[in-house]
Amino acid sequence: MPAEQVNIRTVAEFHGIKAEVIEHEVWGVPANALVVTFPEERRALSGRQGYRKVKAVCNIYLPDAIWPRLHNDKLSWNGYYRQVFSKALSAIGIPLSKVLVLSTGVTMDHLAFHEEKQGDLWVAVLATAGVESNALRIGQDKSSGIDRNGKFKPFGTINTIILTSESLPQSALASCFITATEAKTIALDELGVMSAYTPGLKASGTGTDQIVAVSGTGDKATYVGGHTLLGELMGRSVTLAIKEALTKRMASRKGH
């Protein structure tokens, strides 16, 4: 595509929320990103950027070819995001300050979407997943690096974006992380994913997994554990979305 062109395709529209994949270029290399936009600002919690009100959540695919340029000590992560995602942000008209960003070495072509509903209550999950290079069993496999100033090479990564009908305070958003992590581990177990470092151990995740949980605008929920209906729907949505994303990823790599 021309250097300044972006192509946008809709993945899903649900409850006033739109999920789109934007195809663009990063330093001349074809790339893509998922952009999930909301009709109004919403409370959200990110494992990387913390708690804030946002208009969108993005999952950025960083192709292998640009990784050597992702270790510039003069740039912060926000600096990187402004460079690698400026065209896409311009296309949707939302400033970076109103966006939570995840990054991955997995293309959005392997994105999965799953929604669970019961009555007016719903949970929707968008996930990408790659485990071939850094699946591990947390606490048992040895660490392979140290976080210095937030600089990590984007490995396979399991990225999970959670959306719901219910209004979630900050504590409930944090509870989503527990439920989602338990559900992710179930997905890996059911697919038989083993540690890339100790093949005899079942993997519990990768070393770079990221989660963003976004509050809805409906009734207030103060807890999202497995004994709640919201937790049940969330757990099932996360497990099924991650299983689908991993299945797509694994199928695409069989020919490599």
The mean pLDDT of 132-152, rounded to a whole number, is: 50
Residue 222 domain-assigned (yes or no): yes
Distance (Å, rounded) from C-alpha 187 to C-alpha 193?
A: 9
Report the percentage of the chain scoring pLDDT > 70: 81
Asked if residue 21 belongs to a domain, the reply is yes
Tokens of 14: 């649900």
pLDDT at residue 256 in the model: 54
Domain of 223, CATH number, reads 3.60.70
- Is the residue at 1 inside a domain? no
Its domain, for residue 205, covers: 7-253
pLDDT at position 146: 37
- 125: in domain: yes
State residue 2's pLDDT score.
44
What is the predicted pLDDT for the residue at 114? 98
> Mean pLDDT across the stretch 186-199?
88
What integer is the mean pLDDT of 114-136?
A: 87
Do residues 158 and 126 lie in contact, with contact meaning Cβ atoms separated by under 8 Å?
no
DSSP letter at 142 equals P
User: pLDDT tens digit string along 51-86?
Assistant: 999 999 999 998 877 776 666 656 566 666 666 677
Domain count, the chain: 1
Summarised one tens digit per residue, pLDDT across range 35-49 is 999 999 999 999 999
- Residue 125 pLDDT greater than 90, yes or no: yes
Mean pLDDT of 180-202: 89
In this predicted structure, what is the pLDDT of residue 3?
43
Q: What is the 3-state secondary structure (H, E, C) of 32-89?
A: EEEEEEEEEEEEEEECCCEEEEEEEEEEEECCHHHHHHCCCCCCCHHHHHHHHHHHHH
Q: Which of 103-107, 142-146, 168-172, 180-184 has the lowest mean pLDDT?
A: 142-146
Q: Is residue 138 part of a domain?
A: yes
What local confidence, expressed as pLDDT, does residue 152 receive? 46
In a domain, 98, yes or no: yes
Q: Which whole number is the average pLDDT over 172-183? A: 97
Look at residue 108 and tell me if it is in a domain.
yes
Beta-strand ranges (E) seen in 134-234 are: 135-136, 158-164, 205-206, 210-214
Dist. CA 77–CA 61, nearest whole Å: 14
Predicted structure pTM score = 0.89
Q: What is the pLDDT of residue 90?
A: 78
- pLDDT tens digits for range 157-167: 899 999 999 99
Q: Are 73 and 93 in contact (CB under 8 A)?
A: no
Q: Does residue 70 form part of some domain? A: yes
CA atoms of 22 and 8, how far apart (whole Å): 5
pLDDT in tens, 89-116: 777 889 888 999 998 989 999 999 999 9
Q: What is the pLDDT of residue 23?
A: 92
Judge contact between 142 and 197, C-beta under 8 A.
yes
